[in-house]
Structure 1
Amino acid sequence: MAGVEDWLYLVKEGEIATVVFNRPEKRNALNHAMWVRLSELMRECEADRAIKVVIFRGVDATAFAAGADISEFLTLRATKEGAMQYNRATVAAEHAIHHLSKPTIAMVQGYCVGGGCEIAVACDFRFADPTAKFGITPAKLGHVYNLPATKTLVDLVGPAKAKDILFTGRLLDAEEALRIGLVDRIVPAEDLERETWAYARMIARNAQFSVRGSKYVIGRILDGVTEETEDIRQLVLDSYETEDYQEGVRAFLEKRRPNFTWS
C-alpha cells in the first residue's frame, strides 16, 4: 500500500533537488502526513550542502496540488483539537519552505489550490504553464487562513488582491495570476520543465553566499526591517572574506566565468 514516502518524495540531480507530489488519483491532494513529511524534506535540503536550488512540482501535468485531502475533514479535522494538529503541520511546512536558505521554485501545471497554492506562494518563484489554476479556498469551507501564509500572500500580491483571493475563493487562470504578481512567468507546457531547470542552474552557478545572503536580507525587509541591523552588517562584511569573493574578482579581471566553490 502506498504511503507518505510514495506520495511525497525528493529527487536529487546534482545541485538541484526536486520535491514531487505524487497522488495523481487525488490531484496530489495533501494530507496531514504529507505536511509533516514536507517539513522533514526541507530539513534534509537545508542540511545537504550539495543542494543549491529546490524545485516543487506535481508528478504529472494534471495538478501541482489541488488542496487538502477532503477525507481528513471527516476524521482528523472534525474536531478543534484535530484541526489544531493539522494547522500546526501546515504552518511548520510553510515556514520551512519560506525560510529555507536556498532558493525555491514552484513549477505549476494544472490545479494549484488551497494548500498547494500555500506551498507555491511560500516559494521564491512560481513558473506556470497555461493550464495552471490558482486558488485559496477557506471561504468555501468555513475556516480562517493562518497568519504566516496570509502575510506571505499579502507580501506577494498586496492586500487588495489577497482579499479578492481569500474573500471569493475563486480560481485564477495563469494569465490573471501573472498580472497580479502571483506568478512570475508563464511558459508553454512543452517548455516549462526545461526553462525551470535552466533558471535553477543559472542560480546554482552563482556565488551561493551572495544568493542566500540576498534571500535573507529580502526576508528581513519583508519582516519590517528598514535600517541595517548588526546581523545584516556582519553578513555583508563576511561576504568579503569568502573564497568565492576572491574568485569572483579574479574572474572579472581576467574576463572569464568564475568557478565558485562555496555551498
Structure 2
Amino acid sequence: MTDKILTERDGVVARIVFNQPEKRNAVSLEMWEAVEAALDAFEADDGVRVLILSGAGGKAFVSGADISKFETERASKEAVAHYNATTKRVYGKVEAFPKPTIAQIDGFCIGGGVALSVCCDLRVCGTGSQFAIPAARLGLGYGFEGINRLAAVVGPSFTKEIFFTARRFDAEEARIMGLVNRVVPDAEVGAKAMEMAQTIAANAPLTVDSVKFITNQTQLDEGARDMGRCDALVAQCFDSQDYVEGRRAFMEKRQPDFVGA
C-alpha cells in the first residue's frame, strides 16, 4: 500500500488518512486504489464499529485529483476510463460502507473532496474550512451520481449554487446548507470527530448499522428499495443479545456493554 494513504485503528474506531499534505491531499489513482483496499479490510473487520476519513497536515481534507499525475494516469481514453471507474467504485464503497462513516474536514475540501465527504454519513469541519466544486471554472462535466449525492445532502437549490458559482464557501455557509453536521474551532476538529465516533461506537451496533442501511434505502426509488432486508435488520435487533443488555442496563441504571450480536 502506498504511504500516501495511511490506516489506523484506535479500539473500535478505524481511520483512513489521505497523506499528501504538500499537495493539499490531492489524490492519485494509486491512492484511490489503496483507499479501496483499506475499505475492504475495515468492512471485513468485525472489531471496527466506526470509520473516520481525514487528511494529513491540518490544512486540507482532500482537494481533488492530483493533476501532476494526469500525464501518466489519464493520458489516454483507456486510462481515463480506468481512473473514472476506480473513483466511482471507491465513492460507492464509502457510501455503502455498512458501518457509520465520518469525514473529518480540516481546511480545504475541494472538488473530489466534497464528493468524498458527501459519501460519508457525517461531516465535521473547522471554522477555517473552505468548500468548493470548481467544475464550471474548468469546463468539466459532473456525473449524475456525484450530483445526486450532493443534492441528497444540501438539496437541489444549494447544489446548483455550489456548481453554478464554482466559488468557495466558508464553514458557516456549509453549516447553513447542511453540508456539514458540526463546525468547531480548527484545533478541535480531530477531537470532535473522535468524540462523535466513540459516542456512536458505544451504542448498539446492530441498531446503528440497521438505521444507516434503512436511511440509505429511503433515498432510492420505491421499486429499488430492499424492504425485506430492512425488516430483517429490525428483527435482528430485537432478537439480539444487545437488546437484552440494553433493557437490563436501563433498569440497572448503568452503561450498556454492547457486543454487536
Q: TM-score if structure 2 supplies the norm length?
A: 0.94
2:92 matches 1:95: yes
Given the alignment, which residue of 236, 239, 257 partners 1:238?
A: 236
The 2-side partners of 1:139 and 1:21 are apart by: 25
Give unpaired runs (5+ residues) of structure 2.
none
Measured after TM superposition, the shift of residue 67 of structure 1 is 1.2
2:215 matches 1:212: no
The 1-side partners of 2:216 and 2:105 are apart by: 23
Partner of 1:111: 108
The 2-side partners of 1:225 and 1:186 are apart by: 34
Alignment-mate amino acid for residue 30 of structure 1: V
The 2-side partners of 1:236 and 1:98 are apart by: 21
Q: Deviations over 1:61-114 (max 9, x none)?
A: 111111111123334323332221111111111001010011111111111111
Measured after TM superposition, the shift of residue 228 of structure 1 is 8.2
The 2-side partners of 1:58 and 1:39 are apart by: 16
The 1-side partners of 2:69 and 2:19 are apart by: 18
| 2:41 alignment partner, SS class | helix
Q: Deviations over 1:134-155 (max 9, x none)?
A: 1122222222112222111010
Partner of 1:141: 138
| 2:61 alignment partner, SS class | strand
Alignment-mate amino acid for residue 57 of structure 2: D
Partner of 1:186: 183
Partner of 2:7: 10
Q: Deviations over 1:191-247 (max 9, x none)?
A: 222221111100000000000000000000011349882221222112111110111
Same amino acid, percent of matched pairs: 37
Measured after TM superposition, the shift of residue 253 of structure 1 is 1.9
* Residues 19-98 of structure 1 mapped to structure 2, 5 A cutoff: 19-98=16-95
- Judging changes above 3 Å, is the alpha-carbon distance between structure 1 residues 115 and 228 closer, same or farther for their aligned structure 2 residues? closer
Alignment-mate amino acid for residue 160 of structure 1: S
Give unpaired runs (5+ residues) of structure 1.
none
| Pairs aligned (count) | 260
The 2-side partners of 1:180 and 1:46 are apart by: 30
Q: CA RMSD in A?
A: 1.6
The 2-side partners of 1:198 and 1:225 are apart by: 35
| 1:67 alignment partner, SS class | coil
Partner of 1:197: 194
- Judging changes above 3 Å, is the alpha-carbon distance between structure 1 residues 238 and 68 closer, same or farther for their aligned structure 2 residues? same
Q: Give runs of ≥4 in structure 1 deviating > 4 Å.
A: none
Measured after TM superposition, the shift of residue 167 of structure 1 is 2.4
Alignment-mate amino acid for residue 126 of structure 2: D
Partner of 1:160: 157
Measured after TM superposition, the shift of residue 40 of structure 1 is 1.1
Q: TM-score if structure 1 supplies the norm length?
A: 0.94
The 2-side partners of 1:63 and 1:149 are apart by: 20
Note if contact 1:91-1:146 (Cα within 8 Å) is conserved in structure 2.
Answer: no
